[in-house]
Structure 1
């Protein structure tokens, strides 16, 4: 872990600490950075899935899923 000195808006940091329930500035900043990275990774993954869906990659799987649902409904009747 590296040591970095930065100027941070005290009011924003205090609000982040309150919202996160963090007790230290260090934990607040590390948690905020980790959350930011994880959010961007989820957005990237969603974008990749969206492209795959637009290309029709999931259509065969959806057809199988729908067929199974139909079969289960017919069995229940």
Structure 2
């Protein structure tokens, strides 16, 4: 697994929080549940994890935990550059 991203809400990391289409919400919740142990260990709250998962699924469509965490890193890198 990759390193821990900074525990922020998507809005705080410069990424607009988006809600996925109705058909994608279950996928976002499943991804949040799979990523939860790792991201909780990084200091993320449940609310932050679900917000990131919603936004990821709304933007990307699907993915695994590794690609999800990498995507969070990419969004944070855009903000800091």
Regarding TM over 0.5, the answer is no
Q: TM-score, normalised by structure 2?
A: 0.34
Task: State the TM-score, normalized to the length of structure 1.
Answer: 0.36
Greater Rg, structure 1 or structure 2? 1
Task: Give the number of the structure whose residues are more often helix, by fraction.
Answer: 1
